[in-house]
Structures are given as C-alpha cells and as structure tokens.
Chains A and B, each alone.
Chain A
Amino acid sequence: MTYPLVVTKRMTDHPADSHTLERYEATSGYEQAKRVLGMSRDELVEEIKTSGLLGRGGAAFSAGLKWSFLAPARPSYLVINGDESEPGTFKDRQLLERDPHQMLEGVIITAIANEVHHAFVYIRGEYPKPARRVQTAVDEAYARGYLGKGIFGSDYDLEVTVHLGAGAYICGEETALINSLEGLRGEPRLKPPYFPAAKGLYMQPTIVNNVETVSNLPHILAMGAEEFIELGHPLDTGTFMISVSGHVKKPGNYELPHGITWRHLIYDIAGGVPGDKQVKAIVPGGASAPWFIPEIHLEDQITKDVCAEAGSMLGSGAVIVMDETTCMVRAAERIVRFFAHESCGQCTPCREGTTWMEMILRRIEEGQGRPVDLDLLLDVSDGISVGLAWPPKMTTICPLGPSAVSPVLALRDYFRDEVNEHVERGGCWFPGARVKPHDTVEGDRRQLVEIGARGELGSGGRPPEVMGNRE
C-alpha cells in the first residue's frame, strides 16, 4: 500500500540529489517563499491555522495558533528545533540531510509570517553531516539573495545562523534550547513567566518550531489548507513521519497519514518482526511514551487522541518494537538510564529520582533485586510523577523527569511477574544478560558489594565526561 508523500516526496523521487539547490528549484523550490512576501502576517497565520498543522516535535500544538500567540514586541526571533535526540527518533535527521532547502523555505515562510529578521537553526552536535548540508544550503541561499539583505529582491531582510549543539537531549525542550542558544546551560526555563512567544530568545518574542513542522509549510501553501487536511485524519491533518526501529524487518522513517493501525504499521509497512517472533511491547512515541502491548493496542489507530485515550502519546513519532526475546527490565533500565543521564539537574525529583530508579532497575537486572524493590521503584516514580497517571502530574519544571517513569508504568501494568522473577531467580535469563541467575543469598550480597566497589551502581550509563568530575 502506498500513501501520498509530502515532505519526503522529493528525496523519494530524486534519491541522488534531493539536497541540492538545483534539484530543489527544479521541483518548485522557493516558489512559496517568494509568494508569501506579498502576503500579510494575518493571512499567513490564518492559512496555517486552517491547515490544522500540529507541531511535529512531540507536543503536537497547533503551529498556526503558536504563531498567533507571538507577543507584539520586536525584534522577534525564530528558532528551528533540530535538536532531535529522543531515543527512537531520527526523522529530522533525514529531512535536514536530504532536503535542507525545503526546511529553509519553511524558515523563510515562518520568518515572514512572524516578522522575524534573524532565524536560528539549532542542530544537535551529533548530526554534523545534516548540519553541513544545512549550512551549504544556507550559503547557497545567501549567494542567490534568498537570505540576507532584501531577500528575493524585496526589502525584507533575513539572517539565518546555523548553531550546533554539543550533546544534551534536554536542549530539545524549547526553553532549554533558547538558554543553550544564549550561551547558557541548557536548563529549561520556568513557564510562567518565560513563554517563548513573549519572553524567548534574549527575552524577546520567539517562535520555536520543529524541522518537520516548517518543512511542511511550502507544501501547505502550495496545495492549500484544504488539500492538506484531506491528506490526514480530521483531527490530525496532513502526513507525519514515523521513525520505526527495534525488532522490525524494515526499520526506517515512513511518511504516513494519521489513522492507520499499529498492526498495519508494524506488520505491513515495517515488514513484521525478524524471525517472525512475537511482539512483546511497543514504544509508541519515543522513549518518553508509556508502552503499548500487542494484546491490547495492536488494532488501535495511530492518532494523537487515540494514543492519549490509551494512556500514552505519539510524541515525536518514534516507534520502537520489542520482540519476545527482550528483557523488559533491561529495556526499562536503558530508557530510564537515558533520562537520568540527560536530566539537566535543576529539579530535585528528576536529578535524584531518575538516577535512583536507574540504580534499582540495574540491581534487579543484575540479580541484586529485593522483593520490596518493585514497590520502591514505583514509589520513587510516584515521587517524580505523583499518582503515576497519564498525562503525568509533574513535580518538575519540564517533562523530562516524569518521562522516565513511562517504562516503569509498563512494568507495573504488564510485566510485574517478569520483574519479580528477576528478583526470585537472582538475575536475568534473557539473551545478553550481564549477570545470569544464581542461587544463594550470600552470592547476592557479595555481588552487591563488588558492584558497589567498582562504583558502577547508577553510573554505568554515564559517559566519562560527566562521571569524570568526581574528585
């Protein structure tokens, strides 16, 4: 089955050179940017509102509404969020690398719609090749007069600065991204009072949009809002990119309409599970999302609302499929470890709680679990996300800490027995376990001491840079 393509059409049709200016201009490139120079801010905002385009960075907030909230103070700034770092997500990488001019045209449109004269494209530091492609595109656009003073021969000035991150997932949070861009630690700001639309970059009104979001803009303007709406689901318009990874035969990015089922995605589009094993769990929307299990969710439609009703989210559109050979404790530990590692360290519950969760999960996985540990794990999680509900009741400034709780919810709801069996058997029996089950209590204790002596409890996930600071 094939679906209409929007943001990945050019790279699909022209796999060899979709990133070049020549190809871009040969396929209607920059036509919309030129056209919108003659449009008013109100017209543009209205058109995008009508299209129903939702932000593709994870929060799924109406892009047009976001623009309409921009405070009147000037200068205003635009920041493109290309700090894609959520485990399982790699769609922006493809858009940046394979069609940088498309994103750039989206930047120009967004800038004009929001009276922005200086835009920033923030690309994560681990994406040098996409960054090089974008910088080349920016340089070409400057050379052609599409950027800089008087773009396209108009009197509109637009500067674009490409900014490279340096290894911090939290900078994908828009206010942390702004701090990072200001040369500060990438710590999320308080909201209130620091809503970017009012007090963003340099305390000025700022639009922060995701790469995929703005990449859609030239197409919405070209095809019109109505046609864009028809591409998708009534409540979730247009197409969206899903990154599929894990235990599937054909991992990759797929541009799809909203509303297909998980079964269709996993078995038809992604080719099913290698070796035809059973699916055990699905992470539906990036590592932050509570997991689904096939027994309950396989026939659900993939839309924002259906996901929310089922107690999870589509998030950044990253689907991670885990088959029956996967240890749920280890998988949970790996995801919790990620959040513990990426915590900015501001909020006590996130800074202390996520690492504690990681330590407990690691102990269980490595055979040092105690019967009380699952309850303790849940209670520690409860302290980060009180009530362990969805959406989480946050105790923190940003959702990172509560996100770490998501895999633990799956352990509680679907895999309690598997956790307890780890405790009972004193280790993990799934392939790739570091510590196999053993028998005696004495052995347990000795091993705990050994692990402690190596200083590895809760630290195994740390790269040396962060761990090395202990004096």
Chain B
Amino acid sequence: MSQWSEATQERAREIIARYPQKRSAVMPLLYLAMAEEGYLTDEGMEEVARWVGITPAQVQAVATFYTMYKRRPTGKYLISCCTSISCMLLGGDDVLHAVEDESGVPHGETGADGLLSVEHVECIGACGGAPAVQVNYELIEGVTAEKARDLVRWLETALPDVVNTDEMQELFGGVRSFDWAVREGDGARGPYPAFQALGTVGRQGET
C-alpha cells in the first residue's frame, strides 16, 4: 500500500528498528517523506502515520511543530539566513535583503522556477561566524551581503547537485566560529539535512 520506493521503505524499516518504540521514528520518517517528494505532503504524513501506527492528525501535530518540515513546495536550494541577535549585530539583515534582492524571492517564499526558497531563521549556532547562511542546512559562516549575492548567482548558474558546507565556505564564507579543519565532500541533495541515517547524504561529484 506504500507510496514510497522500495529503497525508502527499507530505510524506514531500518530507522524504526533503531528505537525501542515505533512512534519515536516519526521525526526521521518525516525527513524521509520530504526526501521522497521534495517537501512534506499530506500523503507523506499519511504514509508516516501508517508506518508508526498513529493517526495522520497526530503526525501533523508533530510535523507542524518543527520548522524544518516544509509543508509547501520548496526549492531545490533552501537558503536560510540567520537574523537572530549575533548575526543581526554583524549585518545579518543586510545579508537577508541581499539574498532576497539578488534572487527576487522574498523570504518565506519560493521562486517561480522552483529553484530557490528563501527564509530567515532564528539562531543556527554559528554566532562566532556571524552572519551565517545555510543552503539546505549546509552552513556558510562570515557571509557578507556581496558574497551572499555571489552565492545566489552561483546556485542559479552552477546548479550543484550536491551542496557542501566546506566548498561553499571556501567560496563565499569568511570568519568561522572555529577551525573547520579538513574539507569533506558530503553534502545535501535537497531542502532537508544530509545525514547518513536518513540516506540523504550526497557526495560531491556524483549525480
């Protein structure tokens, strides 16, 4: 009865097996549903409800509590600009306006071509590298308004299949919260976090 691909179903079974009680798997399964369809649809929530044996209303109660479950169509690249206190002090608002201006997408919305979504978010734990921006939750610290415009143009033209925090930091970042050390190629394929357990990690260079 499942609408999900066999690989995703297998992933769902693995995730459920990691918890003593099925219901604990709701959050990771919601990410799976997003990865399957690009955002969280009603059908996705119904599917999660079936997997863990609760009602869709109960799944919706959880899904709507957290800001990272996007219940409207979301772009291939979700640009999140932090405007909380530390980033605001160092120009986070300007970075946000630069992103909005360059992309033509006001915060809270997705461009007509479905490529970019822009949002402003509360603190993302990069205060030492303020102002900070994330693309599909891959972090860039020490961004200026100018670099933010470069970032938008890069996304629009390079259309990277996988966005990776280290690469983007090198291209568009500045001051960091701490020494990031070696560069790694893992990154995100869509507007949800890249994490092994979810099967959402992409490698740069692969398609």
Q: A and B: direct contact (Cβ < 8 Å)?
A: yes
Q: Which residues A71-106 have CB closer than 8 A to chain B?
A: 75, 84-90, 92-94, 97-98
CA distance A253 to B93 in the complex (A): 24
Stretch at the interface among A297-305, A328-336, A349-357, A383-391: A328-336
Would B86 and A245 count as touching, CB distance under 8 A?
A: yes
Q: Is B123 an interface residue (CB 8 A)?
A: yes
- Which chain B residues lie closer than 8 Å to A129 at the CB level? 138-139, 165, 186
Q: Mark B129-162, 1 if CB is under 8 A from A, else 0.
A: 1100010011100000000000000000000000
With contacts A128-B188, A183-B25, A253-B177 taken as known, whether A87 is within 8 angstroms of B122 at the C-beta atoms is yes
Indicate if the CB atoms of B89 and A320 lie closer than 8 Å: yes
User: In the complex the two chains form, what is the Cα distance from A390 to B109 in whole Å?
Assistant: 41
| Per-position 1/0 for B100-118, Cβ under 8 A of A | 0000000111000000000
Cβ contacts B79-91/A at 8 Å (1 or 0 each): 0100111101111
Contact A90 B126 (CB under 8 A): yes
A258 close to B (CB within 8 Å): no
User: Quick one: which of B26, B31, B127, B194 contacts A183, CB cutoff 8 A?
Assistant: B26
Q: Which of these binds chain B: A54-62, A156-164, A191-199, A369-377?
A: A156-164
| Contact between chains at A245 and B88 (CB < 8 Å) | no
Q: Mark A337-351, 1 if CB is under 8 A from B, else 0.
A: 110011010000000
A127 CB-CB contact with B under 8 Å: yes
Write out the residue numbers on chain A whose beta carbons fall within 8 Å of the beta carbon of B93: 432
- Given A15-B181, A202-B20, decide whether A87 and B84 contact each other with a Cβ distance below 8 A: yes
A395-403, A435-443, A460-468 - the one binding chain B: A460-468
B195's contact among A139, A164, A202, A252, by CB below 8 Å, is which?
A: A164
Residue A124 interfacial (CB < 8 Å) = yes
- A interface secondary structure, majority: mixed
Instruction: Find out whether the CB atom of B90 lies under 8 angstroms from the CB atom of A184.
Output: no
Of the candidate stretches A44-52, A130-138, A218-226, the one touching chain B is A130-138
Does A126 sit at the interface, judged by CB under 8 A?
yes
Chain A residues with Cβ below 8 Å from B124 are 126
Other-chain residue from B24, B64, B68, B197 in contact with A135 (beta carbon distance below 8 A): B197
A2 within 8 A of B: no
Asked if B56 is an interface residue, CB under 8 A from chain A, the answer is no
- Whether A361 is near chain B, meaning CB under 8 Å from some CB there, is no
Q: Interface of B with A (CB < 8 Å)?
A: 18-28, 30-31, 52, 54, 61-62, 64-72, 80, 83-86, 88-91, 93-94, 107-109, 119-130, 134, 137-139, 165, 175, 177-182, 186, 188, 193-198, 201
Binding site for B on A (CB under 8 A): 11, 15-19, 75, 84-90, 92-94, 97-98, 118, 124-129, 131-132, 135-136, 139, 161-169, 180-187, 202, 243-247, 251-253, 283, 287, 318, 320, 322, 326, 330-331, 334-335, 337-338, 341-342, 344, 432, 461, 463-469
List 20 interface pairs A-B (beta carbons < 8 Å), by A numbering.
Answer: A87-B84, A88-B85, A88-B127, A90-B126, A97-B180, A127-B125, A128-B137, A128-B193, A129-B165, A183-B24, A183-B62, A185-B61, A252-B177, A253-B177, A320-B127, A331-B88, A334-B88, A338-B84, A461-B83, A468-B72
Give the top 6 A-B pairs by smallest Cβ distance, nearest first: A464-B108, A167-B67, A166-B66, A245-B127, A183-B26, A183-B23
